[in-house]
């Protein structure tokens, strides 16, 4: 398996040259379907256009063709973090304070492996969540195995696109077929 820290160091300047900030670089799929996943966004909008994905993918591919940092065959996936984005950087906890998150910890904390709660604050060493039936829980950042925002109406409203340029035309009140599928004309 490839060294993710070394791979990230190669990708970061390529993203930066395009005005993008990395959210996560990870390897998934094991030996059967190895995938290098690169999540990035524009810091000012927290969005990533398809053209940004294409440009970053091209830059990474060119850099990796030159240096060959991953020995085995793999698939490159470049995407935005999405609405229910992973929380991977210390700054994410401050940026998304007030929203709900699912946090998995290792080793367990107080006998629990997972906490779902509202992000209250972060001090750089730990994040404080308001967890239903538990109240405030401080989770050390070093114990967080994975974390992501939970999809809620408040999150959807807060992450509405700043620009809808390039979005396909939406057909409102489209009639349903007898199979319950939307019928699209044209």
pLDDT tens for 61-72 read: 999 999 999 988
The mean per-residue pLDDT over the stretch 80-105 comes to 95
Q: Could you tell me the residue ranges of all domains in the chain?
A: 4-79, 90-158
What are the pLDDT digits (tens) for 150-183?
A: 999 999 998 876 555 655 555 555 454 445 444 4
Q: In degrees rounded to 5, what are phi and psi of residue 77?
A: -125, 115
For the chain, how far is it from start to end, CA to CA, in angstroms? 47
Residues 6 or more apart from 59 whose CB is under 8 A from it? 14, 17, 18
* CATH of 90-158 among 2.102.10.10, 3.40.50.720, 2.30.30.100, 1.10.760.10: 2.30.30.100
User: What percentage of the chain has pLDDT greater than the value 90?
Assistant: 74
Q: Do domains 4-79 and 90-158 have the same CATH topology?
A: no
Give me the residues paired with residue 24 across strands: 39
pLDDT digits 0-9 by tens, 100-142: 999 999 999 999 999 999 999 999 899 999 999 999 999 999 9
Q: Does the domain made of 4-79 have the CATH classification 1.10.260.30?
A: no
| pLDDT tops 60 at residue 26 | yes
Sheet holding 75-79, edge to edge: 21-28, 35-41, 75-79
């Amino acid at each position: 398996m490839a060294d993710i820290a070394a791979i990230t160091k190669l990708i970061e300047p390529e993203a930066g040259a395009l005005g993008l900030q990395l959210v996560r670089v990870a390897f998934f799929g094991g030996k059967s379907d190895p995938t290098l996943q690169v999540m990035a966004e524009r810091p000012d909008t927290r969005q990533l256009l398809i053209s940004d994905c294409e440009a970053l993918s091209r830059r990474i591919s060119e850099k990796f063709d030159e240096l060959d940092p991953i020995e085995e065959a793999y698939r490159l996936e470049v995407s935005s973090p999405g609405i229910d984005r992973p929380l991977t950087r210390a700054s994410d906890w401050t940026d998304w304070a007030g929203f709900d998150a699912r946090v998995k910890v290792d080793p367990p904390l107080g006998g629990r492996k997972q906490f779902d709660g509202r992000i209250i604050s972060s001090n750089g060493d730990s994040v404080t969540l308001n967890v239903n039936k538990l109240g405030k829980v401080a989770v050390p950042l070093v114990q967080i195995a994975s974390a992501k925002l939970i999809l809620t109406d408040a999150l959807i409203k807060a992450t509405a696109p700043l620009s809808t340029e390039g979005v396909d035309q939406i057909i409102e009140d489209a009639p349903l077929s007898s199979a319950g599928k939307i019928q699209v004309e044209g």
